Amino acid sequence: MQYEEVLAKQWDLVIIGAGPGGMGAALYASRADLATLVVEKQYAGGLIMLTHEVENYPCIDKASGMDLGMKLEQQCRKFGTEFLLKEVRRVDRSGAGFAVTLADGKSVSTATVVIASGSAPRRLPCPGEQEFYGKGVSYCATCDGAFFRDKEVVVVGGGESAFQEGLFLTQFASKVTLVHRREGFRATELAIRRARANAKWHEKLNYVVEEIYGDETMQGVKLKHAQTGEIEDFPCDGIFGFIGYDPASASVSHLVETDEEGYVVGDLNMRTSVHGIWVAGDILKGAKKQMVISAGNGATAAMDIREYLAERD
């Protein structure tokens, strides 16, 4: 569909974000014959495209995140979902529905909206992060791991991503050191056990990254002991941050209820505080951030939207 046609059409629903949440909604909505537009600012697939391997999606033994993301997009297109590669800047009420304003100032008109814009990796809060971003600092092992063949890298965080992605990095790096601010982890026992069984895996617990330094490229980090405050020089070639995520709710936070961090409040049917707007996936307040849950949220929202539109008509 040409861009002008997308702008001229009256959509049943516009979905913000083409991650598993958005595409879960799109699949159910377009299969129910609703005029469905997914607006995505980067690429279809969302965060799952950053992971090398998914082995906890029901009925899929093992697949790369990229493969799953691409298959989901194809499946949505098969049932008539339209995709638009643009950033959503703002959503406003317009008549009985909504106007979704895009980065170029143009807007699309829709009866309902699904917010499925997920969250973005939190940047490491220390001097040198910006300077060495892309020159040693990364947030995606799948994208950048191969640049660190036979090099030494640091992985920051204590959750599932830090362990899973850190273990993936051992395929390339000669040494992977996990730096975490305390001794307890949020990661599962399985992920911890697998990482610790690898000879290239090392840990520095009770440390925070104080600074990233180098010249043309990164040369190392300064680590600060969380209790004693002692600073230690730690030479390394790269650093991967997995310290959490910030919700991408800027385009809707003036309209729907969010919590203090910016996560969107939704009920069991994924309805938000605004009649006609639903939420799905990682951006939902209190969500367990997993692909199967996001896709399920999207399906729930689409089914509820179908009933809502049928009653309205």
Ligand X SMILES: Cc1cc2nc3c(=O)[nH]c(=O)nc-3n(C[C@H](O)[C@H](O)[C@H](O)COP(=O)(O)OP(=O)(O)OC[C@H]3O[C@@H](n4cnc5c(N)ncnc54)[C@H](O)[C@@H]3O)c2cc1C
Q: Measuring CA to CA, how many Å separate 269 from each of 73, 232, 241, 295, 306?
A: 23, 50, 34, 13, 12
Q: What are phi and psi of 300, to 5 degrees?
A: -60, -50
Q: One of 143, 233, 246, 267 is an active-site residue; which one? A: 143
Q: In the bound complex, what is the minimum distance in angstroms from residue 89's beta carbon to ligand X? A: 7
Nearer to ligand X, 6 or 291 (CB): 291
Q: In the bound complex, what is the minimum distance in angstroms from residue 44's beta carbon to ligand X? A: 7
Q: In the bound complex, what is the minimum distance in angstroms from residue 229's beta carbon to ligand X? A: 31
Q: In the bound complex, what is the minimum distance in angstroms from residue 49's beta carbon to ligand X? A: 8
Q: In the bound complex, what is the minimum distance in angstroms from residue 48's beta carbon to ligand X? A: 4
Nearer to ligand X, 110 or 224 (CB): 110
DSSP state of 124: P
Residues in Cβ contact with 302 at an 8 Å cutoff, skipping those fewer than 6 apart: 13, 24, 25, 26, 27, 28, 29, 32, 34, 114
The two structure tokens encoding residue 203: 């840990």
Concerning whether 144 is annotated as a catalytic residue, the answer is yes
Nearer to ligand X, 117 or 138 (CB): 117
300, 136 contact by CB (below 8 A): no
Nearer to ligand X, 118 or 220 (CB): 118
236, 153 contact by CB (below 8 A): yes
Q: One of 12, 76, 144, 237 is an active-site residue; which one? A: 144
H or E element that contains 97: strand 97-102
Which of 74, 81, 108 has the alpha carbon at shortest distance from 92? 108
DSSP state of 122: P
Nearer to ligand X, 226 or 292 (CB): 292
53, 62 contact by CB (below 8 A): yes
The two structure tokens encoding residue 206: 């009770």
Interface positions with ligand X (CB under 6 A) = 16-22, 39-42, 46-48, 50-51, 54, 56-57, 87-88, 116-119, 161, 165, 248, 251, 281-283, 289-292, 294
Q: Measuring CA to CA, how many Å separate 162 from each of 73, 138, 172?
A: 27, 12, 16
Q: In the bound complex, what is the minimum distance in angstroms from residue 294's beta carbon to ligand X? A: 4
- DSSP conformation letters of 223-286: EEETTT--EEEEE-SEEEE-S-EEE--TTTTTTS-B-TTSPBP--TT-B-SSTTEEE-GGGBTT
| DSSP H helix total and E strand total for the chain | 7, 17
Nearer to ligand X, 12 or 40 (CB): 40
Q: In the bound complex, what is the minimum distance in angstroms from residue 291's beta carbon to ligand X? A: 3
Strand-pairing partners, residue 37, are: 14, 82
Nearer to ligand X, 19 or 266 (CB): 19
- Which residues form the catalytic set? 140, 143-144
